[in-house]
Structure 1
Amino acid sequence: MPSQVIVNADDFGLSAHTNAVILHAFQAGLISSATAMANMPAFAAACVLAQQPALKGRIGLHFNLTYGRPLSQAILAEARFCAPHGEFELKLKRRTLRLTRRERLAVEQELEAQWNRCLEHGVMPSHLDSHQHVHNIWPIGEIVARFARKQGVPVRLARNLGQNIGPLKKTFKALLNRRLRQLSGATADYVCTPLDLKAGLAPKQGVLEIVAHPSALGGHDFGDAYLATGESLKSLIDQRLAGLPRVGYTCLAAQPSALAAQT
């Protein structure tokens, strides 16, 4: 069993409803971390909620290159990132290994703009991950990891537990995660979804992040986008990871990942 678990809810700030569910999940002790989308309509409201004791210091940046309007200007001119009407429309293939210099600078500027919007709203992000896992695209991952090191915060690894990860994908993820660790300096050791946890894939050591998208089931119970309708995320985590402390990413900020330190 892992030594610690981070239960992170993505998409904070996406909508008022998402904000309400994430707040409730924090208050119920289900989740221990969340990441906010700085260019979404309910972001400012999410930052107000982030000042509550259960959330304070546990909100990261959910870097977004796929949905809504960017916060910077240069990326608007990049056809592989934005549509002519001024919204994100990412056209990079997942196997992309290079960006042009101009694209790279535009991504860096957008990342900085989203980070700064968090600071302007009183939230110092605890860590970095990305909407629809865009930092699993190699050159974007390098940008995000370098930026994370500069800011002194951890970055999410690519999902590395799962029954649907074949040999080629497993090799790619291992190489990418090695690079993310090398550049960022701090990560969890494993990343999985609630479905992976249900399949019995929890690691035997290290720090595990569970990527969650909680939904309300009524009362103090919650489902998740990865699970069947009506299935309880709370019951799943309580059963599979009974007794494990749920922590935020700030516990990793000053130290390398546990497994990386052993190699």
Structure 2
Amino acid sequence: MPSQVIVNADDFGLNEHTNAVILRAFQCGLISSATAMASMPAFKAACALAQQPALRGRVGLHFNLTYGRPLSEPIRALAQFCNAEGEFDLGLSRKRLWLGRAARQAVHEELAAQWQRCLDHGLTPSHLDSHQHVHNLWPIGEIVARFAAREGVPIRLARNVGHNIGPAKRLFKTLLNRRLRQLARLTADHVCTPVDLRDGLAPRHGVLEVVAHPSALGSHDFGDAYLGSGESLQALLDQRLAGVPRVGYASLREARQSTLDTASNR
């Protein structure tokens, strides 16, 4: 059984309905973390909600390169990222290992713009992950991890728990996660989906992040986009992770600082 679990809801700010579900999930104790999309229509409302006690210090940035329009100019001119109308249309292969200088700079500027928009609306992100897992592309992951290190926040690892991760994919994820840890320095130990929990794959140690996309299931329960219709995310978490404390990503920074303080006092 993991020592702690971060139950993170992606897509905060996508629309008002998603905001309402995530707010209620926080208030009910279902989730302990969320990540916001800085260029979506309900982002400003999400930032206001993030000031509530249940959410404060527990909302990160959901870096987006695949949906809507970018916040910065240079990336709009690159066909591998945007279409002729200046909307995101990511054309990079998942096997891509390298980007040219102009592309790397454009990704960094877009990431910085999305981060700054959070700050401009009173939200200091607690951590970084990405929409549709774009930072699982090696060169983008390196950019995001370096940015996370500069800002002193954790980054989500690539999912490393699951039956459907074959040998080649597992090798790639192991190498990518090693690189993300090396660059960002702050990560959870394991990442999974609710389906992986349902399959009985909760790790036996370390800090686990469960990547969630909660939905309303009646008036007092929650489903999830990863689960089947009518399946309860709350019941699943209670069953598979009973007694495991639900924490936010800030706990990783606090634990690291405590370790550093202890070492300096020896």
TM-score calculated relative to the size of structure 2: 0.95
Correspondence list, 1:140-159, <5 A: 140-159=140-159
Tell me what 2:264 maps to: none
Correspondence list, 1:221-240, <5 A: 221-240=221-240
Tell me what 2:189 maps to: 189
CA contact (8 A) 1:67 1:88 kept: yes
Kindly indicate whether residue 73 of structure 2 is the aligned counterpart of residue 73 of structure 1. yes
Partner Cα separation in structure 2 for residue 86 and residue 173 of structure 1: 31
* 245-254 or 203-212, larger mean C-alpha shift: 245-254
Deviations 1:38-67 (A, max 9, x none): 000000000000000000000000000000
Q: Which amino acid aligns with 2:91?
A: K
* 247-256 or 42-51, larger mean C-alpha shift: 247-256
Q: Which amino acid aligns with 2:36?
A: A
Partner of 1:205, secondary structure, is coil
Kindly indicate whether residue 211 of structure 2 is the aligned counterpart of residue 205 of structure 1. no
Partner Cα separation in structure 1 for residue 83 and residue 28 of structure 2: 40
Partner Cα separation in structure 2 for residue 137 and residue 158 of structure 1: 10
Partner Cα separation in structure 1 for residue 113 and residue 254 of structure 2: 24
Cα deviation for residue 253 of structure 1 reads 2.0
Partner of 1:169, secondary structure, is helix
What 5-or-longer segments of structure 1 have no aligned partner?
257-263
Tell me what 2:261 maps to: none
Partner Cα separation in structure 1 for residue 165 and residue 217 of structure 2: 30
Cα deviation for residue 254 of structure 1 reads 4.5
Q: Which amino acid aligns with 2:225?
A: A
Partner Cα separation in structure 2 for residue 14 and residue 4 of structure 1: 28
What 5-or-longer segments of structure 2 have no aligned partner?
257-266
Partner Cα separation in structure 2 for residue 230 and residue 213 of structure 1: 14
CA contact (8 A) 1:186 1:255 kept: no
Identity over aligned pairs, percent: 73
Tell me what 1:23 maps to: 23
* 247-256 or 113-122, larger mean C-alpha shift: 247-256
Partner Cα separation in structure 2 for residue 197 and residue 104 of structure 1: 36
Q: Which amino acid aligns with 2:155?
A: V
Partner Cα separation in structure 2 for residue 62 and residue 253 of structure 1: 19
Deviations 1:150-174 (A, max 9, x none): 0000000000000000000000000
Partner of 2:217, secondary structure, is strand
Partner Cα separation in structure 2 for residue 47 and residue 2 of structure 1: 30
Q: What is the aligned residue count?
A: 256
Partner Cα separation in structure 1 for residue 91 and residue 129 of structure 2: 19
TM-score calculated relative to the size of structure 1: 0.96
Deviations 1:217-248 (A, max 9, x none): 12221000000001000000000000111000
CA contact (8 A) 1:186 1:254 kept: no
Tell me what 2:120 maps to: 120
Q: Give RMSD over aligned pairs.
A: 0.7
Partner of 2:209, secondary structure, is strand
Tell me what 1:101 maps to: 101
Tell me what 1:9 maps to: 9
Which aligned segments of 4 or more residues in structure 1 are displaced greater than 4 angstroms? none
